[in-house]
Amino acid sequence: MTPMGRPLLNRRLAEFGTTIFAEMSALAVRTGSINLGQGFPDTDGPEEVREAAVRALRDGRGNQYPPGPGIPELRTAVAAHQQRWYGLPYDPDTEVLVTAGATEAIAASLLALLEPGDEVIALEPYYDSYAACIALAGGTRVPVTLRPSPADAAAERRYHLDLDELRDAVTDRTRLILLNTPHNPTGTVLSRDELAAIAELACERDLLVVTDEVYEHLVFEGEHVPMASFPGMRERTVTIGSAGKTFSFTGWKVGWVTGTPELVGAVRSAKQFLTYVSAGPFQYAVAEALALPDDYFHGLREDLRRKRDILSDGLAEAGFQVFRPSGTYFVTTDITALGEKDGLAFCLGLPERCGVVAVPNSVFYDDKEAGRSLVRFAFCKQDEVLRDAVSRLQRL
Ligand SMILES: Cc1ncc(COP(=O)(O)O)c(C=O)c1O
């Protein structure tokens, strides 16, 4: 019995248990399996970036509370990054906010910009923190489901956004569209035309856009086009980035938000009461990382392209239907061809069957049926680990 006979967990969070990633990573450890569930690299990022963090710690830079918006060096580096890669100018003093990873940026943006009852359109399947943060903010999530291209359209199928469905999802209560491109878990990279149509819709219906672009440098086909670069969008877009994915230091939890002073100011109001500030010494290191030459970013992409192909080809040979991703470090598969129907049961049994951990895509869906037979694998792992996983999976 809990005090006053009431559930301990706030009702807004009642539907969200432990995240699937924690559950699956614990299963991987327990069974000694190869963990292709959670998206974290099994090797650290560049040595010079790690050294930069050590130097900052030793020199006493960032060991005490850094400034609330983030250290000036990192805000300047984020602004320079947006200018270098996308030609988007941001004022480091008023238009950049450093956060505790993209996760806090998402939470702070939604808490800042939503009123209870506001509707938020999100592309389903979605990264699991979206639904929880919309709920925490008292908003209502309205999923628009990405769907695979028809089976006979091409040898390899991809996930697409139905723009009519998106348009139909907008109501008078819609406050914002929560975008994610490159998209986890489908690996879809929204095209310039798709983004232009979303931008047009946002302007026409006077909507905000919060866009999670943490995989911006992991694009293998097509190009990453920031939402903020479309006409009329700079003033209504909150863009989220993260050092975790781009520099392979997911444990550092350094992320950022860019937008107009008004938008960034609103997000900062929420962020200051969540974490107040983010880890100091790592901010100095990430400032250096963002200034790495283009070769670093291209090298990362080519490295992951090779890994994508090792895993995608291996999964296809093992009998999975593979949706080869255009971006991110995840590959979505369909297990129907293996004679399986339920991704959750499949993932729970997989460690015992062949010593590999994956994640059932159904956890990313409100429409559980749409994701039922889908399973996601991460390929941000060493080549030999991926090859080992593939040979284990071929036992299926
Ligand atoms: C789409 C998406 N957004 C945000 C995050 C979290 O980023 P961070 O580790 O910077 O909080 C992830 C991590 O997997 C992600 O896939």
- The ranges assigned to domains in the chain are 3-45+295-393, 47-290
- Between the CA of 214 and the centroid of ligand 1 the distance, in Å, is 7
Look up the CATH number of domain 3-45+295-393: 3.90.1150.10
Residues with CB under 6 A from ligand 1: 39, 101-103, 127, 180, 184, 212, 214, 242, 244, 250, 253, 255
Q: In ligand 1, which atom is closest to the CA atom of 330?
A: 16
**Token digits for 323?**
């949706």
- Between the CA of 220 and the centroid of ligand 1 the distance, in Å, is 19
Distance CA 209, CA 235 (A): 10
CATH architecture group of domain 47-290 = 3-Layer(aba) Sandwich (3.40)
- Look-up of token digits 């994701």: 371
Q: Taking the alpha carbons of 375, 379, 385, 387 in that order, is the dihedral positive or negative?
A: positive
**What is the CA angle 392-393-396, rounded to 5?**
110
Q: In ligand 1, which atom is closest to the CA atom of 243?
A: 10
Contacts (Cβ under 8 Å, ≥6 apart) of 207: 170, 174, 175, 176, 177, 201, 236
**Cis? peptide before 185, omega within 30° of 0:** yes
Distance CA 210, CA 266 (A): 13
- Between the CA of 319 and the centroid of ligand 1 the distance, in Å, is 29
Asked whether the domain spanning 47-290 has the same topology as the one spanning 3-45+295-393, the reply is no
Distance CA 204, CA 166 (A): 13
Q: In ligand 1, which atom is closest to the CA atom of 255?
A: 10
Nearest protein CA to atom 7 of ligand 1, as residue: 102
- Between the CA of 361 and the centroid of ligand 1 the distance, in Å, is 16
For residue 23, the model assigns a pLDDT of 82
Distance CA 278, CA 257 (A): 13
Q: In ligand 1, which atom is closest to the CA atom of 103?
A: 11
Identify which of 20, 104, 127 to mutate to test ligand 1's pocket (most ligand atoms within 8 A of the CB). 127
For residue 27, the model assigns a pLDDT of 87
Nearest protein CA to atom 16 of ligand 1, as residue: 184
In this structure, the strands spanning 356-357 and 34-35 are: parallel
Q: In ligand 1, which atom is closest to the CA atom of 328?
A: 16
Q: In ligand 1, which atom is closest to the CA atom of 105?
A: 11
Identify which of 126, 214, 329, 380 to mutate to test ligand 1's pocket (most ligand atoms within 8 A of the CB). 214
- Between the CA of 255 and the centroid of ligand 1 the distance, in Å, is 9
- Between the CA of 392 and the centroid of ligand 1 the distance, in Å, is 28
For residue 1, the model assigns a pLDDT of 57
**Cis? peptide before 182, omega within 30° of 0:** yes
- Between the CA of 230 and the centroid of ligand 1 the distance, in Å, is 24
For residue 2, the model assigns a pLDDT of 77
Q: What are phi and psi of 245, to 5 degrees?
A: -80, -40
Nearest protein CA to atom 4 of ligand 1, as residue: 102
**What is the CA angle 256-257-262, rounded to 5?**
145
- Between the CA of 344 and the centroid of ligand 1 the distance, in Å, is 22
pLDDT in tens, the chain (396 residues): 578 889 889 999 988 877 778 888 888 899 999 999 988 999 999 999 999 999 999 999 999 999 999 999 999 999 999 999 999 999 999 999 999 999 999 999 999 999 999 999 999 999 989 999 999 999 999 999 999 887 655 557 889 999 999 999 999 999 999 999 999 999 999 999 999 999 999 999 999 999 999 999 999 999 999 999 999 999 999 999 999 999 999 999 999 999 999 999 999 999 999 999 999 999 999 999 999 999 999 999 999 999 999 999 999 999 999 999 999 999 999 999 999 999 999 999 999 999 999 999 999 999 888 899 999 999 999 999 999 999 999 988
Identify which of 219, 242, 359 to mutate to test ligand 1's pocket (most ligand atoms within 8 A of the CB). 242
Distance CA 227, CA 59 (A): 38
- Between the CA of 103 and the centroid of ligand 1 the distance, in Å, is 6
For residue 75, the model assigns a pLDDT of 98
- β-partners of residue 211 are 179, 239
Identify which of 25, 184, 217 to mutate to test ligand 1's pocket (most ligand atoms within 8 A of the CB). 184
Q: Taking the alpha carbons of 341, 343, 345, 350 in that order, is the dihedral positive or negative?
A: positive
Distance CA 315, CA 330 (A): 12
Give the Å distances, CA to CA, from 134 to 104, 109, 118, 258. 13, 10, 9, 20
Question: Residues in the chain, how many?
Answer: 396
- β-partners of residue 212 are 180, 240
Q: What are phi and psi of 212, to 5 degrees?
A: -95, 105
